[in-house]
C-alpha cells in the first residue's frame, strides 16, 4: 500500500517549512526549503537542458554540425536518434527503477561525447568516432530525455505548468544563442567557407561537462514541495515485470495513439533545416542565424505559457486555444519554407552571406521555425501532463512520446544523408505530417479533463488524511 504520508499534499495552512502540530517533525533549514522547492528543481533541470540538449541543438544549428559536408553529421544524427528511440521505448521502466536523479546523471555523462566527436572530426578528420558517438550519445541521452520528460510534466503546480514549461523550453533554446555567439566570434571573417574552426567545438565540450554537478543536485519527487505548497503524487515502485507490462499499456493507450503523429512530426523539421543551412548559407551567416533565432522563441514560449495558465477558463478550453495557436503559426512557416525552397531548386543561390540581399527572406523561415517548433513541443508536454494520475505515469507517457519523437528525427536525418537531395522533400513531408496529426490531436484535446487526475487524487488523499486521528505526543 502506498504511504499516504509521503504523497499527501501540504496545505497552505500547513506548510512543510514549519513543524506540524502533534508531531516531532523538525523545522527545515532555509537552504533545504529552497533546494526542495519545485522551481529550484526546475531550474536545475533547465540548466542541464541548456548544457546538454541545447548544446546539441546549437551544433545542429551550425548547419550539418558545422562541418564542411553535412553528410557524416546527418548519418551520426540518424544513428543517434535511432538509438534514442530504442532506449526510450524501455525508458519508463528504467527510469522508474533507478530514479530520475540517476537517469539524469547517466545522461549528463554522455553529453560531452558529441562535442568531442565533432572536434575530432574537424581537427583530425576522424569520422568513425563521430558516427560511434551517435550510438553512445543516443543511449545516454535517452535516459536523460525520459527522466527530463517525466520531471517537466510533474514538478510544476497545476496553475503554473505553462510558465514552468516555458522556462524549460527557453533554456533549451538559449543553447542556440550561446552556440551562435561562440561560432560567430570564431568564424566572423568575411569569406569563410566550409566547416567551423575546431576550437569552436572545444567550447561546446566545456559547457556540456557542466551538466553533471547539476544532475547530482536533483532530489526524488516525493521530497519536492511545489510553489503552491502541494506535494507530488507518487505510486508504489513496481517490479520489472510489471513495468514492462505497463509499456504495452502506455503505448496502446488513447493518449499516446492519438498523439503519436504529433510526436513524430514535432521534431521532424530539424533534419531538413540543418541541411538547408549547410547547403545555402556561409559559415558566419549560419552563426548569426543561431545567435538571433532564440530571441523570438523566448517571447513565444512564455506567451503560450500565459495562455495555457489563464484563470477563469477550463483546462479543456485552454488546450483547444493552445492547439489552434500552435497549428496556425506552423502552417504559415511551412508554406513560406516550401516557397523559398522551390525558388532555390530553380536557381541555386550559392553561399548566402549576411550582407546579401537574399539573406533576410531566406533566413526568416528558419528564424520562425525555431519558435513554432519549440511551441509545438511545449504545448504537447503540457497536454500530456493534463491526463496523468501520478509521477510514474508522467515518466511512462514521456518515454513513449520521446520514443516516437526520436523515430521522427531518425527518419528526418536519414532522409538528408544524401547531400544531393533537396530539403524540399523534408519540408513537404513535415507539412504533410502536421496535416495528418491534426485530426487525432483535435479528438484528444476535446477529451482533456477539466482537472488533472493527479490533483484530484491528491485532494482525496489529503481529505482522507485529515480525518485520521492525531496521535498525542
Cell reading at 467: 480525518
pLDDT single digits (tens) 264-282: 998 888 777 877 887 888 8
> Looking at residues 37-65, what average pLDDT do you find?
84
Average pLDDT over residues 51-63: 77
The residue count for the chain: 473
| Residues sharing a CB contact under 8 Å with residue 182, sequence separation 6 or more, in sequence order | 200, 203, 204
Q: Which residue has the cell 576522424?
A: 126
**Which one has a higher pLDDT value, 469 or 156?**
156
What is the rounded distance in angstroms from the CA atom of residue 190 to the CA atom of residue 121? 24
Out of 8-12, 33-37, 46-50, 222-226, which region has the weakest mean confidence (pLDDT)? Answer: 8-12
Residue 35 has pLDDT above 90, yes or no: yes
Report how far residue 156's alpha carbon sits from residue 465's, in angstroms, rounded to the nearest whole number. Answer: 23
Q: How far apart are CA 369 and CA 364, in angstroms?
A: 9
Opening angle at CA 376, ends 452 and 290, nearest 5: 135
Give the three-class secondary structure for 447: coil
Q: Establish how many alpha carbons lie within 13 A of residue 471's alpha carbon, considering only the half-sphere containing its beta carbon.
A: 3
Q: Between residues 179 and 165, which one has the greater pLDDT?
A: 165
Higher pLDDT, residue 410 or 428: 428
pLDDT at 88 over 80: yes
Average pLDDT over residues 205-228: 92
Q: Is the pTM of this model over 0.85?
A: no
Are the C-beta atoms of 163 and 309 separated by less than 8 Å?
A: yes
The alpha carbon dihedral of 6, 8, 10, 13 has a sign of negative
Q: d(Cα 221, Cα 209) in Å, to the nearest integer? A: 25
**467 has a pLDDT exceeding 70:** no
pLDDT tens column, 97-122: 888 999 999 999 999 998 899 888 88
In this predicted model, which residue has the larger pLDDT, 90 or 19? 90
pLDDT at residue 251 tops 50: yes
Count CA within 13 A, CB hemisphere, residue 1. 3
Beta bridge partners of 352: 281
> Is the predicted pLDDT of residue 233 greater than 90, yes or no?
no
Does residue 1 surpass a pLDDT of 60?
A: no
Q: Is the pLDDT of residue 328 over 90?
A: yes
Three-state SS across 404-445?
A: HHHHHHHHHHHHCCCCCCCHHHHHHHHHHHHHHHHHHHHHHH
CB 96 within 8 A of CB 199: no
- 175-188 average pLDDT score: 71
Most confident of 19-23, 210-214, 447-451: 210-214
Write out the three cell numbers for 216: 547530482
Band the pLDDT of 66: cuts 50, 70, 90.
Answer: low
pLDDT value of position 68 = 47
Higher pLDDT, 244 or 403: 403
Rounded CA-CA distance 168/52 in Å is: 13
Exposure of 167 in the CB half-sphere (CA atoms within 13 A)? 19
34-228+258-452 domain in CATH 1.25.40.10?
no
> What is the separation of C-alpha 97 from the centre of its chain, rounded to a whole number of angstroms?
22
Split at pLDDT 50, 70, 90, the class of 435 is very high
- Residue 235: pLDDT above 80? no
Mean pLDDT within 128-132: 90
Report the alpha-carbon distance of residue 138 to residue 152 in Å, rounded: 20
The DSSP code for 395 is H
**Under 8 Å between Cβ of 340 and 365:** yes
**pLDDT beyond 70 at 434:** yes
Whether pLDDT at 4 is above 50: no
Mean pLDDT of 202-215: 93
- List Cα–Cα distances, 326 to 116, 333, 379, 385, in angstroms: 36, 11, 8, 18
Choice among 183-187, 287-291, 341-345 with the minimum mean pLDDT: 183-187
pLDDT of 466: 63
Higher pLDDT, 195 or 109: 109
Check residue 26 and give its pLDDT.
Answer: 53
| Rounded average pLDDT over 227-240 | 80
Amino acid at each position: 500500500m502506498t504511504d499516504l504520508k509521503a504523497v499527501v499534499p501540504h496545505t497552505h495552512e500547513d506548510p512543510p517549512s514549519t513543524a506540524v502540530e502533534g508531531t516531532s517533525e523538525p523545522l527545515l533549514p532555509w537552504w533545504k526549503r529552497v533546494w526542495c522547492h519545485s522551481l529550484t528543481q526546475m531550474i536545475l533541470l533547465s540548466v542541464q537542458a541548456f548544457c546538454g540538449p541545447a548544446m546539441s541543438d546549437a551544433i545542429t544549428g551550425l548547419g550539418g554540425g558545422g562541418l564542411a559536408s553535412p553528410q557524416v553529421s546527418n548519418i551520426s544524427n540518424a544513428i543517434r536518434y535511432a538509438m534514442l528511440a530504442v532506449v526510450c521505448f524501455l525508458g519508463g521502466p528504467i527510469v522508474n527503477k533507478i530514479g530520475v536523479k540517476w537517469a539524469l546523471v547517466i545522461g549528463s555523462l554522455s553529453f560531452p561525447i558529441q562535442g568531442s566527436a565533432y572536434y575530432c572530426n574537424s581537427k583530425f578528420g576522424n569520422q568513425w568516432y563521430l558516427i560511434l558517438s551517435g550510438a553512445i550519445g543516443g543511449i545516454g541521452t535517452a535516459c536523460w530525455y525520459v527522466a527530463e520528460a517525466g520531471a517537466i510534466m510533474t514538478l510544476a503546480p497545476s496553475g503554473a505548468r505553462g510558465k514552468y514549461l516555458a522556462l524549460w523550453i527557453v533554456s533549451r533554446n538559449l543553447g542556440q544563442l550561446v552556440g551562435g555567439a561562440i561560432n560567430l566570434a570564431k568564424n566572423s571573417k568575411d569569406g569563410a567557407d566550409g566547416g567551423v574552426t575546431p576550437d569552436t567545438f572545444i567550447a561546446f565540450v566545456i559547457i556540456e561537462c557542466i551538466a553533471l554537478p547539476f544532475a547530482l543536485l536533483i532530489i526524488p519527487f516525493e521530497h519536492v514541495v511545489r510553489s503552491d505548497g502541494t506535494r507530488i503524487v507518487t505510486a508504489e515502485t513496481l517490479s520489472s515485470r510489471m513495468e514492462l507490462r505497463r509499456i504495452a499499456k502506455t503505448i496502446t493507450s488513447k493518449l499516446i495513439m492519438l498523439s503519436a503523429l504529433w510526436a513524430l512530426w514535432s521534431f521532424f523539421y530539424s533534419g531538413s533545416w540543418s541541411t538547408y543551412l549547410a547547403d545555402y548559407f556561409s559559415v558566419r551567416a549560419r552563426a548569426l542565424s543561431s545567435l538571433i533565432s532564440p530571441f523570438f522563441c523566448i517571447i513565444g514560449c512564455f506567451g503560450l505559457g500565459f495562455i495555457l495558465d489563464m484563470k477563469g477558463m477550463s483546462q479543456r478550453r485552454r488546450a483547444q486555444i493552445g492547439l489552434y495557436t500552435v497549428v496556425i503559426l506552423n502552417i504559415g512557416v511551412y508554406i513560406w519554407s516550401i516557397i523559398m525552397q522551390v525558388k532555390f531548386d530553380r536557381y541555386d543561390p550559392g553561399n548566402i552571406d549576411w550582407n546579401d540581399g537574399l539573406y533576410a527572406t531566406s533566413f526568416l523561415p528558419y528564424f520562425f521555425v525555431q519558435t513554432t517548433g519549440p511551441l509545438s513541443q511545449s504545448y504537447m508536454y503540457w497536454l500530456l501532463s493534463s491526463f496523468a494520475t501520478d509521477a510514474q505515469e508522467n515518466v511512462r507517457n514521456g518515454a513513449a512520446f520521446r520514443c516516437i519523437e526520436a523515430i521522427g528525427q531518425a527518419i528526418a536525418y536519414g532522409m538528408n544523408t544524401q547531400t544531393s537531395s533537396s530539403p524540399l522533400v523534408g519540408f513537404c513531408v513535415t507539412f504533410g505530417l502536421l496535416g495528418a496529426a491534426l485530426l487525432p490531436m483535435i479528438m484528444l484535446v476535446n477529451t482533456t479533463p477539466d482537472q488533472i487526475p493527479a490533483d484530484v487524487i491528491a485532494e482525496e488523499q489529503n481529505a482522507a488524511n485529515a480525518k485520521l486521528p492525531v496521535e498525542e505526543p
